[in-house]
Every structure is written in C-alpha cells, then in structure tokens.
Amino acid sequence: MKIIPAIALLAALSLGGCVPLAIGAGGAAAVGAAQDRGLEQAVDDNQIAFEINRKLLAENATLYRGVSTQVQKGRVLLTGTVPNAEDRVTVTRIVWTVGGVKEVINELRIGEKGGFSQSLNDTTISTRLRARLTADSNVSSLNYSIETVNGTIFLMGTARDQAELDRVIAHARDISGVRNVVSYVEVKRR
C-alpha cells in the first residue's frame, strides 16, 4: 500500500467531523478485501471515486447530482443524466484529471433526469439483481457493481469465468422492467 493514501485514510479516521467518510472508506476497504481486486486496489478505487465526486461538486452541483460513478481497477464508469452534450464532455474532462484513472467509460445520457417513479424503478431493479446474485452460489456477487438508469442495467467488475458472467447477465435480463443490460465486466484470466 502507498504511504500517502494510508496516512490520508488514517487522518480521515481520526477526524470526528468526517464520520461518513471514515465509515464509507472503512466499508469500502472491508468489501474490497473480500473482492478479487484486493484491499489495496479497493482503497485506490475508493480514493479515485471520492476525488471525482469532489471535483464534480466543486465544478457544478447539478453535474454532481446527475452523475453516478463506479470505479474498478482504475476504470471509471459514468452513468446518469446531464442537461446537455457540453456537460457530458465536461464530466469526462474532470474525470481524466484525477490521478489513477486508467479508462473512462462515459454512459451519461443527455436530457431531463427521470422523476421519482423512474428512480424508484431503477433502485428496485438494482436491488432485485443484487439479491439474485447474492443468492446464487455460482456467482461471487461482491465482484460486481450494479447501476440501473432508466431500466438499463450497467454491470462492472470481475467475473471468475465466462460462465459466471453469463449467469449474471441472465439474472439481469430476467428482471421485470429491464430494458437493456450493458456489461463492462472483465473475465478473470487463468
């Protein structure tokens, strides 16, 4: 582990006013330790996501609210909705300024953000898929990030093999309300 990130994490943990950050970092570290990517990579990815969100908020609160960020091994998946094409480019530019970013996958949609009903549907879809993956003993569910936007499921993570990824996609497609499944999952090399 790099010394600077370790010191930053310890500093965050020692600050009483930063309890959400400490819990978030600790929770991400615990999950990362159980994932195939390992603790060090999980901490690095969490730092990248935090810095992206910090920069988006500093640039424009509307962009920050409209963008969801998933980071796996330095690969950044951007989902959500931004008002116009210029904002889509601005978000991508901001992400590339963050250290440790190796790839940016921009799935941002342009237009009006869906209302409460669509948000509820998307959350329900993601929750149902997470439950199915967790219940499937042939799937290492912790290795997958799930984001649903307007009925489209975006998957990111690492599959143990192609058969596992095929199971995950089949589970996703079988959920009511799913319009499309987009996979950015890497298959582990043996």
Q: Using one digit for the tens of pLDDT, what is the confidence trace for 109-162?
A: 998 877 888 899 999 999 999 999 999 999 999 999 999 999 999 999 999 999
CATH of 116-187, picked from 2.60.120, 3.40.50, 3.90.1070, 3.30.1340, is 3.30.1340
Global pTM? Answer: 0.77
Asked if the domains at 3-110 and 116-187 fall in one CATH topology, the answer is: yes
Both tokens of 5, joined, read 């990130």
> In whole angstroms, what is the distance from residue 81 CA to residue 71 CA?
18
Q: For tokens 């640039």, what's the residue?
A: 59
Rounded to an integer, the average pLDDT of 60-88 is: 93
* Residue 2 three-state SS: coil
**Domain at 3-110: CATH code:** 3.30.1340.30
**Left if phi > 0, otherwise alpha if psi is -120 to 50, otherwise beta: which for 114?**
beta
Q: For tokens 């992206």, what's the residue?
A: 52
**Domain spans of the chain?**
3-110, 116-187
Q: How many CA atoms lie within 13 A of 81 on its CB side?
A: 13
